[in-house]
Amino acid sequence: MNHHGAWLQLPLVFLAAAVLAVPLARYLRLGSILGYLVAGLLIGPAVLGLVPNSSAIPEVAELGVVLMLFLVGLELEPKRLWAMRRPIFGWGSVQLLGCAAVLAAVGLALGTPWRLAVVVSLGLAMSSTAVALAVLAERNLGRTTAGESILSVALLQDIAAIPVLALVPILAAHGDSDGGDGSWFAAAKAIGAIVTIVFGGRLLLRPALRWIATSKTPEIFTAAALLLVLGTAALMQLVGLSMALGAFLAGVLLAESEYRRELETDLEPFKGLLLGLFFIAVGMGLDLKAVAAQPGLVASLVLALLACKILVLALMAKAMKIPLVERPAFVILLAQGGEFGFVVFQLAQSNGLIDAAQNSALVAAVALSLALTPLLLTGGDRLMSQKLARRGLRKQRDAAPPPPAPVIIAGSGRYGQVVGRMLRANGLEATLLDQDAEAIEGLRRFGWTVHYGDATRLDMLKTAGAATARILVIAVDDIGQSVEIAELAREHFPKLTVVARARNVQHYYQLREAGVQHIERETFDAALMSARSVLELTGMEPYAARRQAMRFRRHNIEVLEQMVPLQGDEGALIAAAKLGRQQFEQQMAAEREAEEAHRRAQRQGWGAHPDSEPGA
C-alpha cells in the first residue's frame, strides 16, 4: 500500500475486525469483550499480521478506559455514594482485599517476590465492571439482592482502581535504589495536580460549560466534553499519574451538574468504540508464542484466579445473606478477571515490575477467565433454575413489585415547573431536561435538579431513562420540537405514555397525529378560570359557574376530537366548528329556560327536585 493510503489501513482493519467479530461473539452469547479480544488476536502480529506491532496503538486505546472512568465518575453522585457507603466500602473492600490476599498468599507460597505478588494479586482481584453490569442489565437482575451487591462491589473496584494504578509506579520506584528527594517531588506534583483539578473544576467547569451551552452548537459541546476529559487525563500523565485518575476526578466533579446527562450522551459512543479499540489492542498484544511456551503457567493462573475468587465470594455471599438462588450469579460475575487487570499489568510491565512473557501469561489468564464466564453462567443458570423449581420460588420472584418508574419532563419552563412541583408535592421525582443554560442555572438556585440536554435527540432520551420510564411530559415551547419528541417517543418507546402541552389547536392536531392521547392546551384552562370568575361576578353561584366551565371544557374537547380526522379540509373544519358551537349554545339556552321554569315552579311551591334539569 502506498504512503498516502497507509493511514487508512489501520482504521479499516480495526473497524472490519470489530464489525465481523463482535456480532458473531454476541450471536454465540460470548459477549462483545471476548469478540474484541479475538478480533485483536486475529489481526495482530501473532496470527494474520494485518496490523504491525505499533507501540502507539495501546496508548490511543487507553483512551477507552479513560472515558469509561470519566463516565463511572459521572455516575458516582455523592448522595448515591453515601446511601450505599456500607455495602460499597464494606463488602467491596472485603472482596477486593480478600481476593488479593488469598491470591498473594498463594504467590508468596510459591516463592514469588512480594512486590510482584502484590501487583499481580491486585490486578487479578479486579472483576470486569463492564461485563458484570451488562449481564445484570440483560437479565434484569439489577434490583435483586445479588444485583445490588454486584453493583456495590463494582463501584468499589472502580474507585479502588485509582489507588491501585497509582501504587504500581510507587512499588516500582521503591524497587530502585535511588529513591529519596525525587519521589517526594513527584508526590508533591501529583497532589498539586489533583488539587488543581478539584478546585479548578468546581470553580471553572460549570461556568465554562454554561457559556459553551449558550452557543447552541451541539458539536462544540461534544468537543468541549472531549477536551475536558483529555485535558484532565493529560494533566495527570504530565505529573506521572494515571490518565484515568484525572478523568475519574473530572467525572465526579460533574456528577451533580446539570450537564451530566448531555455529557454522558455525547461521550457514550466514543467510550464504546475506544473501549473496543482497547480490547482489540489487548488481543493484539497477546503473545501466543509466550503462551505456547508456558501453557502450564497460564492454565494454573486461570485455575488459581477462579478458585481463589470463587472461595472468597462464596463465603461473602453467605455472610451477606444473598438468597441461595441468586448466589451463582453473584459469585460467577465477580470471579472473572477484569479489564482493569490489563491496565495494571501493562503499567507494571512499563515500570519494569514484570517482563513481557509474564504480562502475556497474565493477560491470557484474564482473557480466558472472561471467555469461561458465559459457560460458567450457563451452568449457574441451570443450578439456579433447579433450585427455583425445587423450592417453588419462581412465582414469588415474579410477583415482586416492579421499581417505581420515573417521569421525564422535557422543558423546564413555567409549564414544566408546575407539573414538576405538583409531582414533587405528591412524592414523585422527575427528570427535567432543558436546553436553556440560563434558565437551568436560575432553577438550580431554587433547588431544582435539571439536566442540560436536547430532548429531540434519541440518545439523550435514552440517557434520561426513556426506555424504563412510565411517563414523558412534553412541555417545550417550540411546536416543531414538541411534535418531534412525540414522534420519537411513539417510534422508539411505545410503552411510554406521553402527556403533552399544546400551544394552539393546530399544535393539538399535530400531537394527535403523532399518537399522543393526553394533551392539554396551555391557555385553555386559564381562560376557563377567567370565564368562571366573570360568571360569578355577574351573580351566578360559584358551584354553577364551575359546572358550566367544566361542561364547556368537555364539549370543546369532544368537538376538537371530531375535527381531528378533518385536517386539511378547511371548509369541513369551519362547518364542524360552527355546528359544534351552535349545538352547545342551543343546549345552554334550553338549560337556562328549564332552570327558569324550575325556579318559577319552586316559587309556586311545586317542589321539583333541583337536580332534575335537562341535559345534566
Q: Band the pLDDT of 613: cuts 50, 70, 90.
A: very low
Residues 27, 155, single domain; the answer is yes
Contact present, 324 and 144 (Cβ < 8 Å): no
CATH of the domain at 503: 3.40.50.720
Q: Band the pLDDT of 157: cuts 50, 70, 90.
A: confident
Q: Is residue 235 part of a domain?
A: yes
CA angle 333, 337, 338 (to 5 degrees): 90
Q: Is the pLDDT of residue 400 over 50?
A: no
Q: Is residue 1 part of a domain?
A: no
Residues 363, 439, single domain; the answer is no
| Domain count along the chain | 3
Q: 129-133, 159-163, 320-324, 455-459: lowest mean pLDDT where? A: 129-133
- Average pLDDT (543-567) is 81
Contact present, 180 and 231 (Cβ < 8 Å): no
Mark which of 361, 394, 427 sits at the end of a domain: 394
The residues, ordered by sequence, that sit 6+ positions from 121 with a Cβ below 8 Å of its Cβ are 99, 100, 101, 103, 104, 107
Q: What are the counts of helices (DSSP H) followed by strands (DSSP E) for the chain?
A: 28, 6
**For residue 253, what pLDDT is reported?**
77
CATH of the domain at 286: 1.20.1530.20
* CA gap 332, 329 in Å, rounded: 5
Q: Which domain holds residue 609?
A: 540-616
Of 353, 25, 336, 409, which Cα lies nearest the Cα of 165? 353
Residues 456, 387, single domain; the answer is no
φ/ψ of 401, rounded to 5, equals -65, 140
Distance between start and end Cα atoms, the chain? 86
Q: Is residue 6 part of a domain?
A: no
Residues 550, 518, single domain; the answer is no
Of 360, 289, 342, which Cα lies nearest the Cα of 58? 342
Residues 463, 331, single domain; the answer is no
Q: Is the pLDDT of residue 574 over 80?
A: no
Q: Is the pLDDT of residue 138 over 70?
A: no
Residues 384, 431, single domain; the answer is no
- Model confidence pLDDT, tens digit, residues 90-113: 888 898 899 999 989 988 888 878
Contact present, 435 and 214 (Cβ < 8 Å): no
Q: Is the pLDDT of residue 472 over 90?
A: yes
CA angle 174, 178, 181 (to 5 degrees): 90
Q: Would you report the helix, strand and coil content of the chain in percent, each value rounded to 5?
A: 75, 5, 25
Of the ranges 478-482, 586-590, 605-609, 611-615, the best mean pLDDT one: 478-482
- Average pLDDT (7-22) is 81
Distances (CA, A) of 92 to 98, 121, 150, 611: 10, 16, 9, 69
- Model confidence pLDDT, tens digit, residues 221-253: 888 888 888 888 888 878 766 677 677 777 877
**For residue 388, what pLDDT is reported?**
56
- Model confidence pLDDT, tens digit, residues 266-293: 887 777 777 778 778 777 766 677 678 7
Q: Is the pLDDT of residue 473 over 80?
A: yes
Q: Is residue 399 part of a domain?
A: no
**For residue 231, what pLDDT is reported?**
86
Query: What number of other Cβ atoms are within 10 A of residue 548's Cβ?
Result: 17
Q: Is residue 534 part of a domain?
A: no
CA 457, distance to chain mean position in Å, is: 15
Residues 364, 479, single domain; the answer is no
- Average pLDDT (574-585) is 71
Higher pLDDT, 529 or 190: 529
Q: Is residue 8 part of a domain?
A: no
- Average pLDDT (557-574) is 73
Residues 490, 360, single domain; the answer is no
Higher pLDDT, 383 or 19: 19
Q: 17-26, 182-191, 372-381: lowest mean pLDDT where? A: 182-191
The residues, ordered by sequence, that sit 6+ positions from 144 with a Cβ below 8 Å of its Cβ are 323, 326
Alpha helix (H) ranges present in 176-294?
181-200, 206-213, 218-238, 243-253, 260-284, 288-293
Q: Is 462 exposed, middle or buried (0-12, 13-18, 19+ CB in 10 A)?
A: middle
Mark which of 522, 557, 588 sits at the end of a domain: 522
Q: What is the pTM of this model?
A: 0.59
Q: Is the pLDDT of residue 146 over 60?
A: yes
Q: Is the pLDDT of residue 611 over 90?
A: no
* CA gap 132, 340 in Å, rounded: 13
Residues 268, 300, single domain; the answer is yes
φ/ψ of 537, rounded to 5, equals -70, -25
Q: Is the pLDDT of residue 79 over 60?
A: yes
What is the DSSP code (8-state) at residue 523?
T
Mark which of 356, 371, 394 sits at the end of a domain: 394
Residues 208, 317, single domain; the answer is yes
* CA gap 25, 279 in Å, rounded: 14
Residues 43, 171, single domain; the answer is yes
Mean pLDDT of the chain: 77
Q: Is the pLDDT of residue 554 over 70?
A: yes
Q: Is the pLDDT of residue 402 over 50?
A: no
Q: Is residue 295 part of a domain?
A: yes
Q: Is the pLDDT of residue 395 over 50?
A: no
C-alpha cell at position 377: 453462567
Q: What percent of the chain has pLDDT over 70?
A: 80
Q: 232-236, 497-501, 588-592: lowest mean pLDDT where? A: 588-592
Q: Is residue 535 part of a domain?
A: no
Higher pLDDT, 200 or 219: 219
C-alpha cell at position 226: 472531549
Residues 248, 351, single domain; the answer is yes
CA atoms in the 13 A half-sphere facing the CB of 328? 17
**For residue 78, what pLDDT is reported?**
61
* CA gap 472, 411 in Å, rounded: 11
